[in-house]
Amino acid sequence: MAERTPVGQPDVEVLRGSAAAFEEELRSLAPALPERINADPEHAENGLAKLVLTLIALLRDVLEHQAVRRMDGGTLRDDEIERLGLAFKRLDERMQELKAIFGLTDEDLTIDLGPLGRLR
C-alpha cells in the first residue's frame, strides 16, 4: 500500500535552490501580468471582447497564410481566390467595426507572452 503524504506536507520533493529558481522565474514574468484584476462589469465586457477579437485576428492570420500557400501552390481556382479575398475583406471590415465599438486598436489585439515575446 502506498504511503500517504501527511496533511500540510508538499506532494512533491523540493530540491535545494529550486524554490529560489521558481521565485526568480515568477519575478521575471510579473511585469507582463496586470497589477490587479479589474472586476468592473463594463471592463469585463471589454476584456472579453479583446480576447475574442485577438483570437479571431490570430485565426485570420493563420487562414490567410494558408490561403497564400495554396495560391502559390496552384491548388486554388480563380473563383476560389476571389471568394477568399472577399471573405477576408469582409472579415477585416467587421473587425474594424468591432474594434471601434469596444474602443480597441490593433496594438490592443496582441498578447504579451513575457520572455517569449508578443503574439500577433
Q: What is the pLDDT of residues 86-96, one digit of tens each?
A: 999 999 999 99
What predicted TM-score, i.e. pTM, was given to this entire model?
A: 0.59
Confidence grade of residue 27 (pLDDT, cut at 50, 70, 90): confident
- pLDDT score of 1 more than 50: no
Q: What pLDDT score does 24 carry?
A: 77
Share of the chain above pLDDT 90, in %: 35
Mean pLDDT for the chain overall: 79
Contacts of 40 (CB under 8 A, 6+ apart): none
48: pLDDT strictly greater than 90 = no
CA neighbours within 13 Å on the CB side: how many for 53?
25
Q: What is the CA radius of gyration of the chain?
A: 23
From the centroid of its chain, how far is CA 14? 32
